[in-house]
């Protein structure tokens, strides 16, 4: 597996990044009742999360689906957890330095903000990465709206947990070391499920 080095540490970036309000060409993507849709099922030792990926961030959506279908995420760990903030995973190295060998162009819109359950892309800091390009595979899931609101405008938010956020709540409070790595491994298994607009409403109480 080809790997690229991403010396990414989110807590450092919190102080390195200036708050910006990006210009927007955001367009809401209409979804019909007959469209076949895809969601992500992310299984962990603490429960299963179901994730809706935003069609308004198509590069990130298609990349995540591609990696999930290839089995890239299966067995990878949540390698970083910070209470009242986020859980981070998607690194094949397991220490925050790995990825699939490419980055993704930023899809940052002021209309899409962090909230509890948001899934967003990790990235290098502004000094090395002024275009705010995303890691090709590393992501974080917000466990607190107030904790991650300061990241609005600086990271691509490309989806949200529509069921099972309790799993993230359990993961984020696990014992961790000084580098915020869990003391016990927390692996994930990720697959893509087919659905439609009505089933999303019936099964998850979610309307895209």
**Average pLDDT by consecutive 10-residue portion of the chain (208 residues)?**
42 44 76 95 98 98 98 98 97 95 97 97 94 97 92 97 98 97 98 97 96
Instruction: Determine the 3-state secondary structure of 56 from DSSP.
Output: coil
Q: Where are the domains of the chain?
A: 35-204
- CA 31, CA 72: separation in Å to the nearest integer? 28
At which residue do the structure tokens 């899931």 appear? 141
CA distance to 22, 44, 66, per residue, from 151 (Å) = 12, 25, 26
Containing 102, the helix (H) or strand (E) segment is none
- Per-residue pLDDT at 27: 86
Residue 137, both tokens: 């595979």
**CATH code of the region 35-204:** 2.40.100.10
Q: What confidence score (pLDDT) does residue 191 get?
A: 98
From 106, 105, 88, select the one nearest 97 (Cα to Cα): 88
Q: How many CB atoms neighbour CB 128 within 10 A?
A: 12
What gap in Å lies between CA 131 and CA 16, rounded to an integer?
14
The pLDDT score that the predictor gives to residue 9 is: 42
The whole-number pLDDT of residue 26 equals 85
In this prediction, residue 158 carries a pLDDT of 98
pTM as predicted: 0.90
Distance, CA of 147 to CA of 19 (rounded, Å)? 14
A 10 A CB-CB count for 78 gives 27
CB 123 within 8 A of CB 146: no
């Amino acid at each position: 597996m080809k790997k690229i080095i991403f010396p990414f540490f989110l807590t450092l970036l919190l102080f390195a990044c200036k708050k910006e309000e990006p210009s927007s060409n955001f367009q809401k993507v209409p979804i019909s009742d007959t469209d076949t849709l895809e969601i992500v099922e992310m299984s962990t030792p603490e429960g299963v999360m179901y994730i809706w990926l935003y069609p308004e961030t198509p590069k990130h959506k298609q990349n995540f689906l591609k990696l999930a279908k290839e089995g890239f995420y299966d067995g990878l760990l949540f390698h970083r957890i910070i209470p009242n903030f986020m859980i981070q995973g998607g690194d094949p190295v397991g220490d925050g330095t790995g990825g699939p060998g490419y980055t993704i162009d930023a899809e940052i819109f002021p209309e899409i903000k962090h909230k509890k359950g948001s899934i967003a892309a990790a990235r290098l800091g502004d000094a090395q990465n002024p275009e705010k390009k995303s890691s090709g595979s590393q992501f974080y899931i917000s466990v607190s709206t107030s904790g991650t609101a300061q990241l609005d405008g600086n990271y691509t938010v490309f989806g949200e947990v529509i069921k099972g956020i309790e799993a993230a709540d359990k993961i984020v409070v696990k014992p961790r070391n000084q580098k915020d790595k869990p003391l016990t491994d927390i692996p994930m298994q990720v697959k893509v499920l087919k659905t439609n607009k009505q089933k999303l409403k019936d099964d998850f109480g979610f309307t895209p």
